[in-house]
Amino acid sequence: MPERDLLMIPGPIDVDPPVLRALSRPPLAHTSPEFIEIFGSTITALRDVFLAPQGQPFVVAGSGTLAMEMGVANLLEPGDKALVINTGFFSERYADVCKRFGATVETLNAPLGDAPAPDAADKILSQGGYKLMTITQVDTSTGVLADVRGLAEVARKHNVLVVVDGVCATAAEEFRQDEWGVDVCITGSQKALSVPPGIAFVMAGPRAIAAFEARKTPVASYYSDWGLWKPVMQAYEQRKPAYFATPPVNLIFALQVAVQQILAEGMPARWERHRRLSNAFKSGIDALGLRQVPLSPVIAAHTMSAVYYPEGVNASVLGKIKAEGVVLAGGIAPAIRDRYFRIGHMGNANASDILAALGAIERGLAAAGARVDLGAGVAAAQRSLAQTPATV
Ligand SMILES: *Cc1c(COP(=O)(O)O)cnc(C)c1O
């Protein structure tokens, strides 16, 4: 299998060589001064990625799903009410996670490809009694981008904690944790943070920490307990050794490099680059006459695209696109699973990757017997890119 295939799925994503090289150095003792410096400085730097100057970062070995658990297990107690803003498969997963920790869960649904409006959340939260609300910033099953800012504003009004699943968004979609009043944001390493899979992140704001400290019952998950991790995170930031459970030291080496790259680009520039590439990719998809799952551009993610197959084409086209050198993902939203595919364009993706992916999609569709105007998607993307030249 050629190692040069372009991996453009919505995570794990392609990893930059300097990040990969960092991963391959021999492990260090997790209590060594050298590792403490690397981990401590990286924990501190994460506040600038989430724009959470007052946040308490938790960085532990695990996937995004563990981060989801760790985000709510410390806040929910049996009988608490939670509202889940449902934009797809991963929102529904959050409902399941909340139930597992004893919450009574209400979901605010929208038609497939749509996003619930803040007003609708306002109506439900007005009934009172809610402890927290979850929002999936980008639901990777539908490619729908939620209005985190508007939804969080409503929750604030009702004094409800806001937990954001940023697994397919953090470090690529605009996000200002402190300014927007988000209490917890969680993510994983393998999506827009551009590190291989295996690190779970939770950024907990002051209200979340206060709610945790006011708990009456112990946290039902031992590994996820903020009380066990917080002293460890604080010790690393103070450059002191500490241990609760072994950090994934090699992944932390890689994370250090990735976070340095992210902050060197700067968050607004990074959000803007993702917008530019996404707009170009989606222009290409439109020009090929393909329909997208999100019902309108304002609720479409910039980290990925979810696109319906044309008439007469099914998931076997992904093999043909792969034969052209680009790896894309099939559907996971149960109602339309076999009718659409997904493309990740986050992290280190660049304009040339966008054109390569569109070209491979055009040739793949043609090989699958679809009527394709070869080059039409690439040309539309080129025009879009030319309108917004890359900033250096
Ligand atoms: C990928 C993803 C997850 C799950 O992450 P894993 O690392 O697969 O456990 C959760 N939420 C969203 C929005 C995701 O995209």
What residue has token string 């950024």? 203
Q: What is the dihedral of CA 318, 320, 322, 326, to 10 degrees?
A: -90
What is the side-by-side order of every strand in the sheet holding 304-308?
A: 304-308, 340-344, 329-330
Q: Which of 140, 145, 163 to probe ligand 1 with, by most ligand atoms within 8 A of CB?
A: 140
- Closest protein CA for atom 6 of ligand 1: 64
Number of H helices, E strands in the chain: 13, 14
Give yes or no for residue 65 CB within 6 A of ligand 1. yes
- Taking the CA of residue 65 as reference, the ligand 1 atom at the shortest distance is 9
Residue 134 contacts residue 155 (beta carbons within 8 Å) = no
What residue has token string 């989606």? 282
* Pairwise CA distance, residues 280 & 387, whole Å: 10
Residue 337 contacts residue 329 (beta carbons within 8 Å) = no
- Closest protein CA for atom 2 of ligand 1: 167
* Pairwise CA distance, residues 207 & 187, whole Å: 19
- Taking the CA of residue 66 as reference, the ligand 1 atom at the shortest distance is 9
- Closest protein CA for atom 5 of ligand 1: 64
Q: Which of 167, 170, 191 to probe ligand 1 with, by most ligand atoms within 8 A of CB?
A: 167
- Closest protein CA for atom 3 of ligand 1: 64
Helix (H, G, I), strand (E, B) or coil at 358: helix
All residues at 6 or more sequence positions from 91 whose CB lies less than 8 Å from its CB, including other chains: 84, 85, 107, 134, 136, 139, 165
Extract the tokens encoding 326.
Answer: 């680009």
Q: What is the dihedral of CA 33, 34, 40, 46, to 10 degrees?
A: 180
End-to-end CA distance of the chain: 35
pTM above 0.85, yes or no: yes
All residues at 6 or more sequence positions from 199 whose CB lies less than 8 Å from its CB, including other chains: 59, 60, 61, 62, 188, 189, 248, 251, 252, 255
Give yes or no for residue 87 CB within 6 A of ligand 1. no
Distance from Cα 379 to the centre of ligand 1, integer Å: 33
Distance from Cα 22 to the centre of ligand 1, integer Å: 24
* Pairwise CA distance, residues 59 & 195, whole Å: 13
- Taking the CA of residue 140 as reference, the ligand 1 atom at the shortest distance is 15
Give yes or no for residue 199 CB within 6 A of ligand 1. no
- Taking the CA of residue 11 as reference, the ligand 1 atom at the shortest distance is 1
- Taking the CA of residue 68 as reference, the ligand 1 atom at the shortest distance is 10
306: which DSSP letter? E
Query: pLDDT tens per residue, the chain (392 residues)?
Result: 568 899 999 999 999 999 999 999 999 999 999 999 999 999 999 999 999 999 999 999 999 999 999 999 999 999 999 999 999 999 999 999 999 999 999 999 999 999 999 999 999 999 999 999 999 999 999 999 999 999 999 999 999 999 999 999 999 999 999 999 999 999 999 999 999 999 999 999 999 999 999 999 999 999 999 999 999 999 999 999 999 999 999 999 999 999 999 999 999 999 999 999 999 999 999 999 999 999 999 999 999 999 999 999 999 999 999 999 999 999 999 999 999 999 999 999 999 999 999 999 999 999 999 999 999 999 999 999 999 877 65
Strands (E), the chain: 6-7, 56-61, 81-85, 104-108, 130-136, 138-139, 144-145, 161-165, 184-188, 199-204, 304-308, 326-327, 329-330, 340-344
